[in-house]
Amino acid sequence: MAEYGSVRRAGAGVRTAEIDAGLRAHMNSVYGLMSIAMAVTALVAYVVGQDMAAAFNNQPTMILSYGMIETMLTSPVRYIIMFAPLAVVILFSATINRLSKTAAQGIFFLFAALMGLSISWIFIIYTDMSIAQTFLITAIAFAGLSLWGYTTKKDISGWGTFLIMGVIGLIIASVVNIFLESSALQFAVSAIGLLIFAGLTAYDTQKIKTTYIQMAQVPGGQEWLQKGAIMGALNLYLDFINMFMFMLQFMGGRE
């Protein structure tokens, strides 16, 4: 893993200072984009979720009609809502090198809106207070893990393969549990999933840092890093959302 020490040996003095300043600006851009995406997700999830909860309690809705909510929850449209974020993120990852920076940001925020729509159902099941509390605790945990990944001198790049294999295992176990409906398996998936995405938060943060240090010294690397910041923000966003959803299963107070 590239570290500041190796950069100092390869460059020196002024060049190292430039990289340090550039790295700080790059990380600020990553966290800024992630924060905007989180705000978009939270807004969409809250507005749609409140209408869903109101419809379930036979109360007036703000934006969506009862018919629209019923269609979203009981018709095949629910599968489109469920899998649309996955389709967008796969397409985005495959085409980002051909996109402009503006287009890439637009698709990222579109993905964040679709993610908000796909998780809006949590407001039907969990209380608003428990959702807010879980979000706050997740944010604190995420900040600590990301800070550790950024500041540690330990090379954790070797975690990548293990963590990705863990994610694949989680997906398989979740699909199996759709048919088994086992509460024990669901508990295990949630606990292991929380640990995996906690690890990915630190891993992805260090990877963003390391990639910047490497690419900042490559001719033309700064142009690539502009879209690299968007991909970094996407990775950390996914880590946060997954941590939040798994933690909600432990901390969420049900309606």
Closest CA to 189 of 142, 138, 242, 234: 242
- Given a cut of 60, whether residue 11 has pLDDT beyond it is no
**pLDDT at residue 48 in the model:** 96
**pLDDT at residue 255 in the model:** 67
Which pLDDT band, with edges at 50, 70 and 90, does 50 fall under?
very high
**pLDDT at residue 73 in the model:** 87
pLDDT in tens, 102-138: 999 999 999 999 999 999 999 999 999 999 999 999 9
